[in-house]
Structure 1
Amino acid sequence: MNQAAVVRLGVIGLGNIAQQHIDNLRSGDAGRCHLTAICSRQPGELAQKYGVQHFAKPMELIRSGLCDAVLVATPTFNHCEVGLQVLDAGLHLMMEKPLGLSIAEGEQLLENQQPSQVFGLMLNQRTDPLFKAMRDCINRETLGDITRTHWTMTNWFRPEIYFQASDWRATWKGEGGGLLLNQCIHNLDIFQWLCGMPATLRGFCQFGRYHDIEVEDEATAYLQYENGASGVFIGSTGEAPGVISSICRRSGRTIIRWRTLLLTLNTPSTSHYSRSTREMFGMPCAEVTDITPDRKVNQHGLVLANFADAILDGAALIAPAADGLHSLALANAMLLSTWESREITFPLQSKAYQSALDQRISASSLREKTNTEVHVDMSASYR
């Protein structure tokens, strides 16, 4: 490892999440990523504060020669355009989630990546020790094949002011979706990271059920896998406090209950016991163990530190950009299934979804931003 080398990182977009990234860069929690330039439409007071160069336009930063890599933290509708500019300039790219508005945008970005470029995605929940422990349990051969999944993420409660404080958020024109693209994109990534992609999906989304918005704020999907397993995904920004998730396998299950991770092991496996027992109402013995790990890690900092390691040392990325296509496919499929009242088969046809989305974008408009005072505590936004 080359400890002396650093990655000169520029940040485009200075919204709430970008401020957290900058804090990590300034504190050293982002490893060998060093902040060298920022880009925003606002005046450059922050640039003076941080002692870095400020640019008003993305291309000015990209062409400045001050950056080896760029973190794109703009609103979602700019991800594809700005990301393409970064890749076309030959710089490395870290994209905030989601990869784009749609599968089609994600595919376009990946097609423009050169072999020499490192292209990562800010899927920080992959560094959460709880999900890592859950993945370790699932990958153990002793647990057997997945038989059923139940992934409920209803702890993304958002009050009305969250949407009123932005002109683009929760509009088709500005964000290309709501709950699924903004909040649950993390959960959808973890869901497929743990269980793999389904073969088919039937989605049921509700639009503006809890908020004065045009996009989805609640989603339910029924999934079927190639091996015959079934699954349910539920997400909401209108429920509090929410969240129970479980993944069942032939020899046990893992379950998240109020930030606690429980592992249940059946002895013998359910299928073996069913075939061999002579007890008409018998059940296999089950041992439940609390395997909740310490979750005190800087998730965003770890992803940026890994990004630098990938650029400087060739380390494997925690979340390669290509992985972002999976969560986008799930989110896009749930919406398309709802709009067309039909089951979706994977792989999702990107043109079909893009056409349906474009119709809604053309009929949408940005909202008038509220002048109400807003208190922002980003630590309260993480689930």
Structure 2
Amino acid sequence: MSIVRYGIIGVGNMGSGHAKILTDGSIKGAVLTAVCDGFEKQREWAKANFKDVAVFETSAAMIDSGLVDAVVVATPHYDHPKEAIQGFAKGVHVLIEKPAGVYAKQVREMNEAAAASDKKFGIVYNQRMNPLYQKLRELIASGELGEIRRTNWIITNWYRSQAYYDSGTWRATWGGEGGGVLINQCPHQLDLWQWTIGMMPTRMRAFCQFGKHRSIEVENDVTAYAEYENGATGVFITATSEAPGTNRLEVSGDRGKIVIEDGRMTFWRLRESETAFNARNKEAFASPEVWKIDIPSHGRSPEHAGILQNFTDAILKGTPLVAPGEEGINGLTISNAMHLSTWLDGWVDLPLDEDLHEAELNKRIAESTFQKPAVAENAKPADLTGTF
């Protein structure tokens, strides 16, 4: 194979974005040959905007056409595992949009289908392409920061107005999205949280507030606390109704602290480890010597185009995936644990009780009485099935 023929499942906000990247010639070794969408408006939009690209109503028809070698799944959240499993069964490579799914149990089934196939499986965790987070991961893995002691992430710059939530009947509902800010906006940060430090929590306690300052039924304000096997702790705070918002990540270790904010990384590096200093120090109010280091920028993040290029190279050249699809379950498990902790009003241990989480989610879907307004008439076609 010298070129990967892509098909896109769902041409909403994200699907249409991937289509534009694939048709502008920026991805070497890739071509867009087909798209599909269950909405007629979306299909008409695709026909009008993409020349020489076949348009189908269903993903099965698109894959069976023989026109595609790989698919990008950009449908609403619940459908990601189903579409991926179908793709593997039909012998195509699969790249899914985030989140991997809504609940870990269905994602585990998708991972099993991927493992049983001989096809590439990736997830659009485009923030893994960001040089800042790649450098953080590198510094931690190399031991520069020492053993991790604490993480704090405040990510509240996901401002979303009521008009946003009213733009689609599936948005901000248990049955449509399976959650709010944790399942829609924050999958990137929840992934990076565990990916950069290289470990998952052992237990969590979370406080999700549902419909705070917005007429929605799912969470849009969250404060969560995590504990890790080595004794480290973490705090994760997110919201969609704060303006202006904040995006600040702090990671403290035995050898200092790293802060990422406003597109910059600062490393407060201790001359010696805190453990060594504490062992030898005899002065009551002394503290370790610290050097402030501004880590230089390594360029702009290639974002979604970077993921598409990496996935294409994985198919054609065997290049290692930056974001293997199987790893999508990690960040999702963290968000599931946050939901479950709030629903049960207590601590949740990890590994997660996936059956219990699924049962509690289904209970909220069944008991929901929330009524969504009709989708705004001026909503663009590409607003109807997007994932953001």
TM-score (norm 1): 0.94
Residues 134 and 196 in structure 2, CA contact (< 8 A), matched pair in contact too: no
Q: What is the CA-CA distance between 1:162 and the residue it aligns to?
A: 1.1
Aligned to 1:32: 29
Aligned to 1:232: 235
Q: What is the CA-CA distance between 1:84 and the residue it aligns to?
A: 2.0
Residues 168 and 366 in structure 1, CA contact (< 8 A), matched pair in contact too: no
Aligned to 1:371: 376
Q: Does 1:211 align with 2:204?
A: no
* Bigger mean CA offset, 6-15 vs 290-299: 290-299
Q: Residue by residue, what CA displacement relative to the aligned partner does 1:131-174 show, whole Å, maximum 9, x if unpaired?
A: 11211222222321001111221111111111111110111010
Kindly tell me: are residues 204 and 128 of structure 1, through their superposed partners in 2, closer, same or farther at Cα, counting changes over 3 Å? Answer: same
Aligned to 2:155: 153
Residues 98 and 182 in structure 1, CA contact (< 8 A), matched pair in contact too: yes
Q: Does 1:320 align with 2:324?
A: yes
Aligned to 1:65: 66
**Alignment of structure 1 residues 95-244 onto 2, 5 Å:** 95-113=96-114, 114-195=116-197, 196-239=199-242, 240-244=244-248
Residues 265 and 287 in structure 1, CA contact (< 8 A), matched pair in contact too: yes
Give the partner amino acid of 1:57.
T
Q: What is the CA-CA distance between 1:46 and the residue it aligns to?
A: 1.9
Kindly tell me: are residues 355 and 22 of structure 1, through their superposed partners in 2, closer, same or farther at Cα, counting changes over 3 Å? Answer: same
Find the aligned partners of 1:220 and 1:186 in 2 and give their Cα distance.
Answer: 17
Aligned to 1:90: 91
Find the aligned partners of 1:107 and 1:250 in 2 and give their Cα distance.
Answer: 35
CA RMSD, 1 decimal: 2.2
Residues 16 and 382 in structure 2, CA contact (< 8 A), matched pair in contact too: no
Q: Residue by residue, what CA displacement relative to the aligned partner does 1:259-283 show, whole Å, maximum 9, x if unpaired?
A: 2211110112212111112221111
- Number of equivalenced pairs: 378
* Bigger mean CA offset, 126-135 vs 78-87: 78-87
Q: Does 1:18 align with 2:15?
A: yes
Aligned to 1:81: 82
Q: Residue by residue, what CA displacement relative to the aligned partner does 1:5-27 show, whole Å, maximum 9, x if unpaired?
A: 11100001011111211111012
Q: What is the CA-CA distance between 1:204 and the residue it aligns to?
A: 0.9
Find the aligned partners of 1:249 and 1:160 in 2 and give their Cα distance.
Answer: 40
Give the partner amino acid of 1:370.
V
Give the partner amino acid of 2:34.
A
Give the partner amino acid of 1:288.
K
Aligned to 1:261: 265
Structure 2 residue matching 1:264: 3-state secondary structure: strand
* Bigger mean CA offset, 45-54 vs 154-163: 45-54
Q: Structure 1 residue runs of 4+, over 4 Å off?
A: 374-378
Where do 5+ consecutive residues of structure 1 fail to align? none
Identity %: 36
Where do 5+ consecutive residues of structure 2 fail to align? none
Residues 167 and 366 in structure 1, CA contact (< 8 A), matched pair in contact too: no
Residues 153 and 235 in structure 2, CA contact (< 8 A), matched pair in contact too: yes
Kindly tell me: are residues 19 and 377 of structure 1, through their superposed partners in 2, closer, same or farther at Cα, counting changes over 3 Å? Answer: closer
Kindly tell me: are residues 142 and 82 of structure 1, through their superposed partners in 2, closer, same or farther at Cα, counting changes over 3 Å? Answer: closer
Find the aligned partners of 2:128 and 2:91 in 1 and give their Cα distance.
Answer: 27
Q: Does 1:248 align with 2:252?
A: yes
Aligned to 1:305: 309
Find the aligned partners of 1:38 and 1:62 in 2 and give their Cα distance.
Answer: 10
Residues 28 and 309 in structure 2, CA contact (< 8 A), matched pair in contact too: yes
Structure 2 residue matching 1:97: 3-state secondary structure: coil
Structure 2 residue matching 1:149: 3-state secondary structure: strand
